[in-house]
Amino acid sequence: MSTSTQDSATAEDFSSGFRKLNAKHDSGPPPERVKGAVSEIYNGVASWSTQGDFWNWGLHDDEVLREIRSLIPGFDDHGTDGFSEQLYFQALRRIPIPLSDYAGKKVLEVGCGLGEGLNFVSRVVDASQVVGLDLSQAATDRANARLSRGERLRFVQGDAEDLPFADGEFDVVLNVESSHNYPDLGGFLNEAARVLKPGGYLSHIDLFIDQSHELLTRIKREDGPLEWLEDVDVTERVRAAIRKRLAPGSFYRRNFSAKKLSVKTRIMMGRGGSHLAGADFVGHRDALDRVLEATRIRPRRAQQSYHSYRHHIARKKP
């Protein structure tokens, strides 16, 4: 991710049928190098992931937990600590569509990882089509092999900044803890808006460093294709989940130590798995950052730490 931003101040671009956002990163490593490294890392993580694994830090909120349990009793009693599902439920529950009103609707998740989040989503809402897209071929292959259900739930490999879908295909686009990896956040938001139907919703939930927060703030001020409805700081709720996951003897730690990881992977991730992306939220360095910097793919950031985790809801303008 680039560390600095500027207004590209170009003319409004109507080439794909709607006004594009102009805010762009102005420097940083070549985007293709970042994407190559990110997909290699997640292909590697997919090879040692086990069934039921999510790739996010989760969220802890008593009200969210109560709501999920009322829909799926005992959902967190078997093979999960439930925090990642709570993060997905937060992403869904704030969209101004009642959970019972998804019949006939199409939902896309960009950056779906192993597809566990979308699998959970497809149990909560009765959408007619649910599609997950991810840069990692290994992740989407695995998601298709384990979770796909024909048209109702399927996964495709692709790039968030160049979505392989037609204009106006989706009612809802979800983006969960993924966009901090994209070299061009504005490019992704243009694409999300393009594939949404007019009046469709984007639910975006992610970690921010100062620079990425400034960039999004600037994008939100532009007269772009999205109307920004909600910006909720969920930092403390995410920190609560991370702390519980990093606590000695937690479900997360027990699962991580049970995995058969190579020595290299263990060193990269930190012995207990506490150095995964976002761990610096509670005082640990981020492994993905360290790898990108050690391999000189990304320059060292002036301000390293993620400081907030925010949830945004936007609507595609008519």
Ligand X SMILES: C[S@@+](CC[C@H](N)C(=O)[O-])C[C@H]1O[C@@H](n2cnc3c(N)ncnc32)[C@H](O)[C@@H]1O
Out of 91, 138, 176, 269, the only residue in the binding site for ligand X (CB under 6 A) is: 176
Out of 20, 21, 23, 42, the only residue in the binding site for ligand X (CB under 6 A) is: 42
Residue 110 beta carbon to ligand X: minimum distance, rounded to whole angstroms:
6
* Cα-based distances in Å from 249 to 253, 255, 269, 286, 287: 6, 10, 18, 21, 22
Residue 115 beta carbon to ligand X: minimum distance, rounded to whole angstroms:
8
Asked if 159 touches ligand X (CB under 6 A), the answer is yes
Identify which of residues 176 and 242 has a Cβ nearer to ligand X in the complex: 176
The tokens describing 207, both together, are 């970690």
Asked if 135 touches ligand X (CB under 6 A), the answer is yes
Identify which of residues 135 and 189 has a Cβ nearer to ligand X in the complex: 135
Residue with nearest beta carbon to ligand X: 113
Residue 54 beta carbon to ligand X: minimum distance, rounded to whole angstroms:
4
Count of positions on this chain that bind ligand X (CB under 6 A): 24
The mark string for 43-62 relative to ligand X (x by CB under 6 A, - otherwise) is -----------xxx------
Identify which of residues 42 and 75 has a Cβ nearer to ligand X in the complex: 42
Asked if 38 touches ligand X (CB under 6 A), the answer is yes
Identify which of residues 9 and 148 has a Cβ nearer to ligand X in the complex: 148
Residue 93 beta carbon to ligand X: minimum distance, rounded to whole angstroms:
16
Which listed range, 14-22, 91-99, 112-120, 247-255, lies at the site for ligand X (CB under 6 A)? Answer: 112-120
Asked if 134 touches ligand X (CB under 6 A), the answer is yes
Residue 50 beta carbon to ligand X: minimum distance, rounded to whole angstroms:
13
Which listed range, 21-29, 71-79, 109-117, 250-258, lies at the site for ligand X (CB under 6 A)? Answer: 109-117
Whole-angstrom Cα Rg for the chain: 19
Identify which of residues 182 and 201 has a Cβ nearer to ligand X in the complex: 182
Spatial distance between the Cα atoms of 37 and 297, rounded to a whole number of angstroms: 8
Spatial distance between the Cα atoms of 224 and 222, rounded to a whole number of angstroms: 5
Identify which of residues 127 and 139 has a Cβ nearer to ligand X in the complex: 139
Asked if 117 touches ligand X (CB under 6 A), the answer is yes
Out of 111, 186, 200, 273, the only residue in the binding site for ligand X (CB under 6 A) is: 111
Spatial distance between the Cα atoms of 149 and 282, rounded to a whole number of angstroms: 38
Identify which of residues 127 and 163 has a Cβ nearer to ligand X in the complex: 163
Residue 9 beta carbon to ligand X: minimum distance, rounded to whole angstroms:
25
Spatial distance between the Cα atoms of 144 and 166, rounded to a whole number of angstroms: 21
Q: Are strands 170-176 and 106-110 parallel, antiparallel or unpaired?
A: parallel
Identify which of residues 65 and 277 has a Cβ nearer to ligand X in the complex: 277
Residues at the interface with ligand X (CB under 6 A): 35, 38, 42, 54-56, 110-113, 117, 134-136, 139, 159-161, 176-178, 181-182, 277
